[in-house]
Structure 1
């Protein structure tokens, strides 16, 4: 695929997302963005927000306010905050750029499936599916808000899509599992994407004319799957260890993300307390 089409898809997707934000009067970072403030806190060697613009959805511990959500978006924003400063950091712009990247990654994935011979869809079909993802689901709405929860979700989609695309492009365990490990730093539950990556690797190693579980009894296939499993587990284990250490550094408890004491809306408190 030439660079013109991917670049065109990215630019058009971003223009549509940004135009949506402008139309909705939502072009400035909302008070509940938080990840920009967390990036600035990281820059200063802190894990808490010294002066948060709001405390909604934050967690108070030992007199300090923390962002309970895993830190990936703040890490991605860190270069922006470092180079331009907190005041010049725009989480809506950041989110629309990531959203446009997600649309591009979906198209690259569809194209990679076609090139592997795993999909019979034409280029036009793939473009329609890309459009359906970009404008036909909640991703469009979420990419234009810039608030803490939605930025985390959009960031997760970025690295999950990257992971699956890399799994289709390359048989090596390292690229795909590393991208998925990064996604875990935003939403740990996406670890359940890992079986999909294993299945894609299985597809890479299927002998011609042999598919599905019919290939499993072959010792060579089984050994390759076992080796891929072990190698792919390393980046994931590192990501889990980093999340646990992050929790311990904030709340003194490896398993505490801060969700149970989160400052949520009053109507949600009964559900949280149960």
Structure 2
């Protein structure tokens, strides 16, 4: 393999790799310090899930206002349109401190810590040595959109993705341990947070299959396993359909069709125009979304007369391959049923969102929608770093290098975003 040859030819003195490890730890420390700083300065009245939680606490579905532009006006009322599960997480906070509560970044921090623990355990289940488990966990938490959505958990979109990633990751771990009721319940919660995570269900079933068992079979044990995983997910589907009906009079109406009517004139943006003129889904979005998902690089914009004034980070983000190049280790994925079902989850979820009116805007140096299917991709790539051999050591060195590069890009992006005060 080319990457093996490159890593084998690279100098591998202990000093150089020790320096790389130190650089990685320094970057992680910088990111954690930035997180703590944002959490310390968090202000209330920014996360619309607080409004939805308050509505639930008062026995209603509508809210008197909205903290963002992605709300719906329907039948003279305002609705926070997003799926309901994260509002349940926010309810204790809102019950004590009201809808203007702070503390969402603290909750997001605990979620991120939970994600780290889960992926450390998943890596152990897949046979990775301790050093490899540490590096792959750090890469997942700090080198993918996982950290970005946690860092911005005081806003509705990112708080949802923090919780969705937590429960989807727990579903993966539960499936690997053949705790299928738990896996089904967790992916059900993930669906009630981020709808596209529904496509992870077949992958979870493949992960849960005993060694040497067929993926598709009609024997009693396989059918029971399918029911144990599927029934909690089916219950979540029923809940969501009933929730939609209670709000908008139709089980299939999510409220997204009404969001263009909510923003005031000064808050209207290209997102509003897209929805009004082209619709929630359109082939017109495909080229932009494809380029941003797979090709677009780190992009800081400059302006002024001489084009020397730092203006902002590209709010449409950086491609997954450019921002998190270590995901290319999925090239080593084993050709089996897990790969087949994992590819289905990735292609289905990513394929639908490529026609969606938003690619995740606003985001800096990430494509945050990949979190809906990134757990499948990461499980597929981890076995390439499992075991103890010279080849695995060579691969791990290259993985470390790419992971530190990804961490460095995140630090640079967040510094630029801070300097420009998040200009969009």
Could you say which TM-score interval applies, normalised by the shorter chain?
0.7 to 0.9
Cα distance in 1 between the residues matched to 2:204 and 2:215: 20
Cα distance in 2 between the residues matched to 1:55 and 1:140: 22
Cα distance in 2 between the residues matched to 1:261 and 1:61: 7
Structure-2 residue corresponding to 1:65: 78
Flag structure 2 segments of 5+ consecutive residues without an equivalent.
Answer: 1-27, 279-424
* 1:187 CA drift (Å): 1.0
1:239 aligns to 2:236 (yes or no): yes
TM-score, length of structure 1 as denominator length:
0.80
1:271 aligns to 2:278 (yes or no): no
Cα distance in 2 between the residues matched to 1:23 and 1:79: 24
> Contact 1:176–1:197 (CA<8 Å) still a contact in 2?
yes
Q: Secondary structure at the match of 2:78?
A: strand
- Which stretch shows the higher mean deviation, 256-265 or 63-72? 256-265
1:94-137 residue CA offsets vs partner (Å, 9 max, x unmatched): 222212221222112222x1xxxxx3310111011111112111
Aligned to 2:165, which of 149, 157, 165? Answer: 157
Aligned to 1:122, which of 129, 137, 143? Answer: 129
> Contact 1:18–1:93 (CA<8 Å) still a contact in 2?
no
> Contact 1:36–1:89 (CA<8 Å) still a contact in 2?
no
Structure-2 residue corresponding to 1:85: 98
Structure-1 residue corresponding to 2:144: 137
Greater gyration radius: 2
* 1:88 CA drift (Å): 3.7
- Which stretch shows the higher mean deviation, 129-138 or 99-108? 99-108
Structure-1 residue corresponding to 2:51: 37
* 1:31 CA drift (Å): 4.4
1:30-87 residue CA offsets vs partner (Å, 9 max, x unmatched): 64410012111111111111233x4511111111111111011111111222234334
RMSD of aligned residue pairs (Cα, Å): 2.5
* 1:218 CA drift (Å): 10
Alignment of 1:19-58 (within 5 A): 19-23=33-37, 27-29=41-43, 31-52=45-66, 54-58=67-71
Q: Secondary structure at the match of 1:28?
A: coil
Structure-2 residue corresponding to 1:216: 214
Cα distance in 2 between the residues matched to 1:41 and 1:174: 30
Alignment of 1:10-21 (within 5 A): 19-21=33-35
Aligned to 2:227, which of 226, 230, 233? Answer: 230
Distance 1:247 1:226, change over 3 A: same
> Contact 1:21–1:27 (CA<8 Å) still a contact in 2?
no
* 1:28 CA drift (Å): 1.7
1:147 aligns to 2:155 (yes or no): yes
Alignment of 1:97-112 (within 5 A): 97-111=110-124
Q: Secondary structure at the match of 1:261?
A: helix
> Contact 2:176–2:207 (CA<8 Å) still a contact in 1?
yes
* 1:226 CA drift (Å): 2.1
Cα distance in 1 between the residues matched to 2:179 and 2:142: 33
